[in-house]
A and B are shown apart, each in its own frame.
Chain A
Amino acid sequence: MTENRTSGLDRRAFVRLGVAGGAASLVAACGWDGGNALRPRLLDISRLNDWVGEKILFAPTRLARTYTAAERSAMLPGYFISNSLPTLATPSAWRLRVDGLVRQPLDLSLDDLMGMPRVTYTVKHHCVEGWSAIATWHGVPVSAVVRRCQPLDAARYIRFVSFDSDYSNGWDMASALHPQTILAYGLNDHPLPPAHGAPLRLYAPTKLGYKMTKYLVSLTFTDKRPGGYWEDQGYPWFGGI
């Protein structure tokens, strides 16, 4: 996972970091991770930990601590998996597709989303790598979109899909409906910058960063647990903190 400063969206620096990061993880992935015999067992235990995290430790109403704007971090790294910064050819044509096991499929423009209930909070971001940073996010709660699309009873998960290569995430419904889980279109009082997933990204202070899909294009409600870009490579699926 590469990173970059919020300020100065230097495309070359992004690419350079992307290549270096990719090579580094490839080399690291060649190291011993338990071998073919142990790796599946470790993943089994990881699923058990997902269950404990989701069913025992996660409280649907417990809110993450909020901070003041003055406590914002001077920098917030961002990353993407494409070879270059993912951008839209015609931003005005962008729509968020909401489909799957819903009574009312939706195609929402950015204006539609901005017209829905708005949440602003300043929270701490926790990366799986161990770093943290405080920032202010603006967006619409996923629960507001859920109310509008009316999922069927069979819908237990949401698959969040991006236009950043094949990056996607799967979420359990309780995490998605948490009051602090939002579709963010703003960062630190400004429109969401391309480095952080413009025009729309998933955000939740109750999850690790890799669970928060950037460059969103669709939400699909499903009855099967969707995989994800990092989750399919061995990172914990639940990713709740």
Chain B
Amino acid sequence: MSDGPAPTAHTAPSTARAPVRRHHWIVRLTHWATLVLVSGMIASGLQIYEAYARFGNRGGPLFPSPFDGAQFPHWSRLGGWLAGALNWHFALMWPLVTVGLLYLGYLVKSGEWRALLFRPRDVRGAIDMTKYYLRLRPDHPPQGKHNPLQKLAYTSIYLLGALAVLTGLAIYKPVQLSWLTALFGGFQATRYWHFWIVWIFVAFTITHVILVFAVDPASFRAMLTGRYRGRFPSHD
């Protein structure tokens, strides 16, 4: 994700910029692997959802959901039937968690987490950025590699990923991991959260793609080649 014009002090006013090494191969690999794996998880998940397309105990009240009884389009589902979809879902969970841990391990080891993690001190900057977007301040606040709102978005998505895994485990083994299932409010509540995480993730991805191509197309090539030729700073 990127954002509006970035008139920061250290952006050279040159037309021919030298490429900056931006994304390590681990970041690029895990980024695209996540796209493929999460797509597979969502598609098999939509097939699994169809078997009981609502949330709540039998004979009891249902959780409010606009998708009650919904069947998602054939093209969006993977697995063919419930057993096939379960086998896809429970096979893809292994590489997905592996990729997630590899990425987090890289962030920690490289120190790049500092540019991505939203911390209390970013609150002020986040308010400034919000003001800028709402046209309440004319100038773009100075920023490093990512502005505070971007940090907030990325940090939220890591938390969302962790929640997806934890709610998934809690549905998978609601007796052996009953403490986890109870933490999310019980089996049906956990199914509900696991399902809604999908739509938050889809919304994030759509916003992410729009911002990449509308604001900073060079960042797309950077995620493929690792080198960035755009107008935003690559380091804090």
Chain A complexes with chain B: yes
Q: Which residues of A contact B (CB under 8 A)?
A: 25, 28-34, 39, 41-43, 45-46, 49, 53, 57-59, 62, 64-65, 73-77, 124, 126-134, 205-206, 230, 233-236, 240-241
Is the CB–CB distance between B87 and A234 below 8 Å? yes
Is the CB–CB distance between A33 and B58 below 8 Å? no
Is the CB–CB distance between B79 and A33 below 8 Å? yes
Is the CB–CB distance between B88 and A34 below 8 Å? yes
Is the CB–CB distance between A132 and B87 below 8 Å? no
A-B contact count (CB 8 A): 116
Chain A: interface secondary structure? loop
B residues near A28, Cβ cutoff 8 Å: 80-82
Shortest Cβ distance from residue B53 to the other chain A in the assembled complex, whole angstroms? 8
Residue of A nearest to B60 (CB): A73
Contact of A133 among B51, B59, B74, B81 (CB under 8 A): B59
List 17 A-B pairs, Cβ < 8 Å.
Answer: A29-B80, A32-B78, A32-B80, A33-B79, A33-B85, A39-B84, A42-B91, A43-B87, A46-B87, A49-B90, A65-B178, A126-B187, A128-B86, A129-B82, A130-B51, A130-B191, A131-B52
Asked whether A127 and B52 contact (CB < 8 A) given A45-B87, A234-B84, the answer is yes
User: Which 5 residue pairs of A and B lie closest in terms of their CB atoms, listed nearest first?
Assistant: A74-B59, A33-B84, A31-B80, A130-B52, A33-B80
Asked whether A31 and B79 contact (CB < 8 A) given A73-B57, A126-B187, A205-B175, the answer is yes
Contact of A73 among B58, B74, B86, B177 (CB under 8 A): B58
B residues near A45, Cβ cutoff 8 Å: 87, 90-91, 94
* Interface range, B side: 20 to 34
B residues near A77, Cβ cutoff 8 Å: 58
- Tell me whether B155 is interfacial, beta carbon within 8 Å: no
Shortest Cβ distance from residue B30 to the other chain A in the assembled complex, whole angstroms? 21
Shortest Cβ distance from residue B160 to the other chain A in the assembled complex, whole angstroms? 21
Is the CB–CB distance between A53 and B58 below 8 Å? no
B residues near A42, Cβ cutoff 8 Å: 84, 87-88, 91
Asked whether A75 and B58 contact (CB < 8 A) given A62-B175, A130-B51, A130-B52, the answer is yes
Residue of B nearest to A124 (CB): B187
A241–B79 alpha-carbon span in the complex (Å): 21
A38–B90 alpha-carbon span in the complex (Å): 14
A residues near B114, Cβ cutoff 8 Å: none
- Tell me whether B34 is interfacial, beta carbon within 8 Å: no
B residues near A74, Cβ cutoff 8 Å: 58-60
